[in-house]
Amino acid sequence: MGDLGNVAELERAARRFAVWAWIHVGIAVVGGLVTLASYNAASAGGSYVAFKGAIVLGPIFAIINAVRYFRTRSKIDAFKTAAWSSSTAAHGVSTQATARPAAAGSQQRLQVFNPPPGWPRPAEGWRPGPDWRPDPSWPARPQGWNLLVDPELIMTPVDLSGELHLGPPAAVSKKRLNEVCEGAADAIAWHVCTIAAARNENPLTTVGHAREHVRTAVEKAKERIFAKLLADANSWVQESQGSLHQWEAALQHTRMIMEKREVFDVRAHKRINTVISAAVSPPLRPPAPSPTRQPTQPATAYNPPRKKEGYGGLIAVIAALVVIGVGIFAIGVSQPGSLTSASDAAATVAPGADPAVVKELERQGDWAQNGSFYLKWVAHDQYTCTTGAACTEVWLWTPLYAGCKSAEAMVDLLQKGKTIGTASGTVSNLTKDSPKRVHIEARSGLNPDQVQINHVICKN
């Protein structure tokens, strides 16, 4: 009856996950359709409404619930198999003869030899034969040590006794950095297993008693991997400021290294727990006292429980309607079109190369990024135009790049959503320290009602 109860709970959970998966699919579809309708209804160059939350989060949560559904179904199948096995065993049918060869074949196909601390490491992919025996001079294995594990769970430690030198930052690829970070976590896990072998205890017990020591080791490993690498990367960024392309490449590579450093702690702890759990079996626990046994009844084949009538489907439909309504009115965000007038300022600041500089710009107002330049419209009451001519002014700044001394800013002139011409202005003596104003005036006879930035170029 215990198994039947578990299966009933799992089936209810599977139905719930399936319903929520379809609900989120519906949210994504509705968000996409409403966005498309808003886009089609917008005038040329006008604004439309994009439901980013529904379009992006809907599929993500649908995938999450779909994965949960299939995992739950796998557990249900496992219970069914167990119930079938107990039924056949009760009727005198043995399943061991068929189960063992399959397991052995799977193990031979997937797993490789896993030497414990103190044993020589064999050639990659080597597996012991049926007559193989360890050398009696080799140290004893830690308690519960498994000699066969999956290839990707073999510990491949790197030397953490000193600072790691990975070479020039430009030569350190993301794959190489991932391998080094994984090897550092393996080195910590290997050290835990070595201590467990010396204490004649299970490494899982050792790591449970040494959480603080493992956390300290992870912090030191992060420092030894990234301290010199980030210092060299920052020097690379500073040295390449004379060339915009080299500077952007150095900046992008440095950002990748910083991202790997930020997630190192979490991934290292996960890797340590994973490889130790694969290398050893859980420590044995004393068996619990068995309750008074009732007379055994013949085992019956598995029968799924009857579905109970309820209001789960109605509740799910109501929840779907509520979520879709919230997505339409709360998740939707207004997307600016291609037009930007001087009165309603520029677009929001795009992520820049230096987070501190971008934060400073955000505190100062509506700055927009255009390549290596930052721009901001000057208020109407702060400049004057030549009589009979339309004009505008923008602040121009290069806080991240000192190689441009003069620049040209060009704008498109629009009337009722259509381009009627262009106008440009130049500025000299640009510095990284402060912005410069650029006056842009249209030729006589052009009366735009809106303007938008076309481009900004360096005129050195």
Q: Confidence band (pLDDT; 50, 70, 90) for 432? A: confident
User: Around 261, how many Cα atoms within 13 Å sit in the side-chain half-sphere?
Assistant: 17
Q: What's residue 348's pLDDT? A: 33
Q: What's residue 182's pLDDT? A: 92
- Enter the tokens of residue 58: 């809907």
- Enter the tokens of residue 33: 């359709």
The pTM score is 0.41
Phi/psi of residue 434, each to 5°?
Answer: -155, 155
Average pLDDT over residues 400-411: 80
Q: Confidence band (pLDDT; 50, 70, 90) for 315? A: low
Q: What's residue 186's pLDDT? A: 92
Higher per-residue confidence, 268 vs 54: 268
Q: What's residue 60's pLDDT? A: 93
The per-residue pLDDT for range 96-105, each reduced to its tens digit, is 333 333 344 4
Q: Confidence band (pLDDT; 50, 70, 90) for 341? A: very low
Higher per-residue confidence, 163 vs 259: 259
Q: What's residue 399's pLDDT? A: 76
Q: Confidence band (pLDDT; 50, 70, 90) for 272? A: very high
Cβ atoms of 90 and 298 within 8 Å: the answer is: yes
The per-residue pLDDT for range 218-227, each reduced to its tens digit, is 999 998 888 8
Q: Confidence band (pLDDT; 50, 70, 90) for 361? A: low
Q: What's residue 216's pLDDT? A: 92
Q: Confidence band (pLDDT; 50, 70, 90) for 303? A: very low
Q: What's residue 64's pLDDT? A: 93
Higher per-residue confidence, 332 vs 459: 459
pLDDT(286) > 90 = no
- Mean pLDDT for all residues in the chain: 76
* One CATH from 3.30.1340, 2.60.40, 3.90.320, 3.40.190 for 355-458: 2.60.40
Cβ atoms of 427 and 438 within 8 Å: the answer is: yes
Burial class (CB in 10 A: 0-12, 13-18, 19+), 388: exposed
Q: What's residue 337's pLDDT? A: 34
Strand-pair partners of 423: 411
Percentage of residues of the chain with pLDDT beyond 70:
72
pLDDT(373) > 70 = yes
Q: Confidence band (pLDDT; 50, 70, 90) for 320? A: low
- Name the region of 246 (left: φ>0; alpha: ψ -120 to 50; beta: rest): alpha
pLDDT(265) > 60 = yes
Short-list 384, 386, 392, CA closest to 444: 386
User: Amino acid identity of 212?
Assistant: E
d(CA 408, CA 371): 13
Average pLDDT over residues 22-26: 90
Q: What's residue 296's pLDDT? A: 47
Q: Confidence band (pLDDT; 50, 70, 90) for 457? A: confident
Q: What's residue 356's pLDDT? A: 53
pLDDT(253) > 50 = yes
Short-list 130, 445, 91, 94, CA closest to 301: 91
- CATH 2.60.40 positions along the chain are 355-458
Higher per-residue confidence, 281 vs 80: 281
Q: What's residue 121's pLDDT? A: 85
Lowest mean pLDDT among 48-52, 192-196, 270-274, 449-453: 48-52
Q: What's residue 431's pLDDT? A: 82
The per-residue pLDDT for range 232-249, each reduced to its tens digit, is 888 888 888 778 888 888
Lowest mean pLDDT among 35-44, 271-280, 310-319, 418-427: 310-319
The per-residue pLDDT for range 128-183, each reduced to its tens digit, is 888 888 888 988 888 889 888 888 888 989 888 877 788 888 888 889 899 999 99
